[in-house]
Amino acid sequence: MRTRNWIFTALTLLIFLFYHSLLKIHYTSQIIHLTGQGGRSAQHGRPKDGFAYVFYATADLYACSTLVNIHRLRTLNSTVPIHVLASEYLSIPYMDALQDANVTVHIEETPYARSLARGYYEDCLLKMLAFKMHKLDPSLKRILVLDSDQLILKHFDDLFLDLPRVDLAAARAYWLPPGHAVFSSAFMMVTLSDRLWHKVNQTLPSRDWPAGGADMDILNKELGDTAMILSGEYVTLNSHWEDWDLPNWFHPEDGPPSNRTILEVVPNVSELMDKPPVEPLADLKARETADQTPVAHLEPRTPRFPEDSEMFQQLTQLHEYASIIHFSALGKPWTYSAQEVMKERPGAHPLFAFQFGMWRKVASEVCPEDWSVK
């Protein structure tokens, strides 16, 4: 009887151990399966950890344009975090507006260059500090540095993973003649590292620094031989719509023909045009005091090419293809309303004025009430 009980106990124990082993194998396989699924899901979802867009703002109007492009990225469904390098000279309303925009703000001192006389290009040197973003936020590994005086038309979330892990990838400065700067510093994908920051930091001016040079000149000199050069679509000058010409990198004949109208390319055009005109500051745009023509009652414009012409359609295609419009012609977007652009450049492609209008429409929604240049 005792032997029989012992055998029964042993069999029960063996059965328990057997099922325990089966359960262990089952749950282990489930964990492996779920882990694999999680990895594939993360890959499918293209994780954004360690990535960030970086803007810089040294004055209120550039902070306003930063807010415009932050809004543009969010409207385009970007999910990558946004950081802003802000000068200590920004006003409190703009500092507050940046904080309210749910971005990370870093207040940094602008590098000083005596030869640049504290002008526009000296302010641009603030963007050089973007190369130390991993010092300001150790979680960052790769950043896309963008100028603010632009109009973003697409987001670039996928570009963080799609580009090779080179130190620097930047848009071609296609408008410059051979022998000048190779790339534009208005669009730079930077893979952060102590080595790269040390190299850039060595070029930053000090109070005794005798040489002049803007950020684009400095970076091309130091990194022009190794930078990966991207298409001009990432910094497309708005002058093409003023001058009726195409950039040399754009080949409309390689794409499908497009007969889209302006109203299809730029929805809600009336919303860009019905705002009252704003009088710019004298130091940003000179105006004859005797000229009191109400811009709301301008004569119809006469573009250089009709809407059914090939050039008109190709410039419309260019607007759809471009990723960023850089305001290099006529003035910055805060200096002219769309109506005023039409008055100043009546023969330009209609999109030239509408690009100003697109910027200003967003600015009226996201910038402090005093953003307008009066």
3-class SS of residue 152: strand
Alpha-carbon distances, residue 286 vs 28, 171, 289, 330, 373 (angstroms): 75, 33, 9, 12, 13
- Reported as a single tens digit per residue, the pLDDT across 319-361 is 999 999 999 999 999 999 999 999 999 999 999 999 999 999 9
Rounded CA-CA distance 141/165 in Å is 10
Domain boundaries, the chain: 48-230, 237-274+303-366
Rounded CA-CA distance 334/330 in Å is 11
Q: What is the pLDDT of residue 244?
A: 97
Question: 60-75 vs 92-100: helix axis angle to the nearest 10?
Answer: 10
pTM, entire model: 0.78
Contact 240, 148 (CB under 8 A): no
CB neighbours of residue 188 within 10 Å = 27
Residue 209 has pLDDT above 50, yes or no: no
CB neighbours of residue 83 within 10 Å = 21
3-class SS of residue 24: helix
179: left (phi over 0), alpha (psi -120 to 50) or beta: left
Q: What is the pLDDT of residue 195?
A: 97
CB neighbours of residue 243 within 10 Å = 16
Please list, in sequence order, all residues whose beta carbon lies within 8 angstroms of the beta carbon of residue 85, skipping any fewer than 6 positions away.
54, 55, 56, 57, 106, 108, 126, 127, 129, 130
Nearest-Å Rg of the Cα atoms of the chain is 28
- Reported as a single tens digit per residue, the pLDDT across 89-126 is 899 999 999 999 999 999 998 876 555 545 555 567 78
- Reported as a single tens digit per residue, the pLDDT across 135-186 is 999 999 999 999 999 999 999 999 999 999 999 999 999 999 887 879 999 9
247: left (phi over 0), alpha (psi -120 to 50) or beta: beta
DSSP state letter for 296: G
Query: Which carries the bigger pLDDT value, residue 101 or residue 282?
Result: 101
3-class SS of residue 248: coil
Residue 39 binned pLDDT confidence (cut-offs 50, 70, 90): very low
Residue 208 has pLDDT above 50, yes or no: no
Least confident range from 60-64, 273-277, 327-331: namely: 273-277
What are 145's strand-pairing partners?
54, 188
Q: Look over the chain and give the mean of its residue pLDDT values, rounded to a whole number.
A: 80
Q: What is the pLDDT of residue 217?
A: 85
Query: Which carries the bigger pLDDT value, residue 165 or residue 307?
Result: 165
Q: Which two tokens stand for residue 106?
A: 């870093």
Residue 134 binned pLDDT confidence (cut-offs 50, 70, 90): very high
Nearest to 166 by CA among 196, 140, 138, 194: 196
What is 48-230's CATH superfamily?
Spore Coat Polysaccharide Biosynthesis Protein SpsA; Chain A (3.90.550.10)
Q: What is the pLDDT of residue 14?
A: 61
Tracing tokens 């979802």 back to the chain, one arrives at: 45
